[in-house]
């Protein structure tokens, strides 16, 4: 059976972003393409179990493959979420999102300050999610694409804080980069993600009713 397991890069309107240069964003985009290429390469590897006779948790082909696979695919997904909520700025958090922010983070200004502080504390990513176990908002910090993620927590707002995301424009001034990011947020995208989560929860509840 011929299965196409390759993924293709998405395009983003970097010209719409203010105070982060095209050069910075284009260089960043090249890293994203690199993750796609590596994932496609890994994903085309054999899935014949007999091709991995020496699988070993210290060093083996299978171990390298599995570590590279999650690193590359998480890298692709996080960058897509990031570029999507960074481009084509739109105002503002929806009524539904504001209600959750006010409930879980006191108020909007406090949420933004908390999010910025988390972004200063991490080495890779800071992500606002809504978690299905409690239906509450979380700000998750990750030191790498595949380190610190919480399974099944639904990403709403994603910020890349790796140095490569801002060094060309901001040097080591991460605070200035974070402030520029906040001003560029495409809230329509964030609101839509929350709506997708709420729709998913709703249909799960409906399905349970008829089981």
Interface residues with Fe ion (CB under 5 A) are 160, 162
Provide the terminal-to-terminal Cα distance of the chain, rounded to the nearest Å: 35
Residue 119 beta carbon to Fe ion: minimum distance, rounded to whole angstroms: 13
Residue 136 beta carbon to Fe ion: minimum distance, rounded to whole angstroms: 27
Tokens read off for 166: 């801002």
Nearer to Fe ion, 137 or 159 (CB): 159
**DSSP tag of 153:** P
Residue 209 beta carbon to Fe ion: minimum distance, rounded to whole angstroms: 42
Ramachandran angles phi, psi of 202, nearest 5°: -60, -45
For the sheet with 136-142, list strands across it. Answer: 136-142, 125-131, 154-160
Nearer to Fe ion, 24 or 191 (CB): 24
Nearer to Fe ion, 161 or 194 (CB): 161
Residue 82 beta carbon to Fe ion: minimum distance, rounded to whole angstroms: 7
Taking CB positions, which residue lies at the least distance from Fe ion? Answer: 160
Report the 10 Å Cβ neighbour count for 43: 17
Q: How long is the chain?
A: 211
Nearer to Fe ion, 22 or 110 (CB): 22
Residue 184 beta carbon to Fe ion: minimum distance, rounded to whole angstroms: 15
Residue 14 beta carbon to Fe ion: minimum distance, rounded to whole angstroms: 14
Q: Where are the alpha helices (DSSP H) in the chain?
A: 22-43, 61-86, 95-105, 108-121, 167-170, 174-184, 187-209
**DSSP tag of 163:** G
Nearer to Fe ion, 19 or 199 (CB): 19
Nearer to Fe ion, 74 or 160 (CB): 160
CB 97 within 8 A of CB 191: yes
Tokens read off for 15: 């010209």
């Amino acid at each position: 059976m011929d299965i196409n397991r390759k993924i293709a890069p998405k395009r983003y309107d970097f010209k719409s972003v203010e105070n982060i240069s095209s050069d910075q964003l284009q260089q960043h985009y090249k890293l994203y393409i690199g993750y796609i290429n590596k994932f496609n390469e890994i994903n085309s590897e054999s899935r014949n179990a007999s091709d991995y006779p020496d699988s070993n948790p210290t060093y083996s082909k299978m171990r390298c493959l599995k570590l590279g696979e999650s690193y590359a695919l998480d890298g692709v997904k996080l960058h897509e979420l990031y570029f999507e909520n960074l481009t084509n700025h739109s105002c503002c958090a929806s009524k539904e999102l504001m209600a959750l922010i006010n409930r879980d983070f006191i108020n909007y200004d406090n949420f933004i300050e908390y999010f910025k502080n988390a972004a200063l504390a991490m080495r890779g990513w800071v992500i606002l999610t809504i978690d299905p176990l409690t239906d509450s908002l979380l700000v998750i910090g990750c030191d790498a694409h595949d380190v610190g993620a919480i399974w099944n927590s639904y990403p709403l707002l994603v910020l890349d804080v790796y140095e490569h995301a801002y060094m060309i424009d901001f040097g080591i001034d991460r605070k200035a980069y974070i402030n520029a990011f906040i001003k560029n947020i495409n809230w329509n995208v964030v609101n839509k993600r929350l709506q997708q989560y709420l729709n998913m929860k709703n249909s799960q509840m409906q399905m349970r009713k008829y089981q």
